[in-house]
Amino acid sequence: MEVAVVIPTKNEEKYLPPLLKSLKKQTYKDFEVFVADAGSKDRTKEIAKKYGCIITKGGLPAFGRDIAAKAAIKKGAKILIFIDSDVILPEKNFLKKSIAELKKRKLDLASVKIAPFYGKNKRKDIRIVLFYSAYNIIMSLSQKGEKPFMQNYMISKSKVHKKIGGFGEIEFGEDSAYSKKAAQMGYKFRILKTPGRALISPRRFEEKGFWKLLFLYLYLNAKIIFGHEFSSKEKKVYFK
């Protein structure tokens, strides 16, 4: 096993199957899937077992990723790919292209651009499409700096993950905090070009309302820019 795909979950029976199906179709096969489950009460773990995933303890996404990554590294994984449970890989060569580009460009960690996906009978919300387009621009502009952004689909060499101490105990913004730590330690991060865009469910916008979630994201990211770190030890008031 060269690669481990790590997926943090909690009650994801609706969204996990499409991701696992897209992973099963990949032409690159030298990987195992680790599901870090935070005590799901639905069929999440049953679905993960059905697809042959290795299930580990979970919690907040940062904690779950670190637990699963530790188990994967112990099994010999050289590359870790962290994917959110509501993401879909749009084509069968996505993993192959990601890993090949990581090696060709001699990167230590990387991410990809993202776009929302909708079912056949679901109308697109142009506001959400524009939001992710803007986020892709921010990721592209920040990728060579000391504070790069990444989200939803993240690749890291195992040795880099261990050197930077993983994601740590962070409730929000742990993905970009991860790439920031790596960049400031001299590791090379870039946005991959060849795989294309990972597809993410717009469910959070649909559940909370577009404007409410947008302003919440803007507020929280502004706090991060000014140096605040959302430790898991804080009282959680944003994501109940």
Q: How confident is the model at residue 148 (pLDDT cuts 50, 70, 90)?
A: confident
Helices 210-225 and 126-142 cross at an angle (nearest 10°) of: 10
Q: Residues 154-201: pLDDT tens digits?
A: 999 999 999 999 998 777 778 888 998 999 999 999 999 999 999 999
State the pLDDT at residue 231.
59
State the pLDDT at residue 196.
93
State the pLDDT at residue 168.
83
d(CA 233, CA 167): 14
Backbone angles phi, psi at 124, to 5 degrees: -75, 145
Other C-beta atoms lying within 10 Å of the C-beta of residue 162: 13
Which domains are assigned to the chain? 3-231 (3.90.550.10)
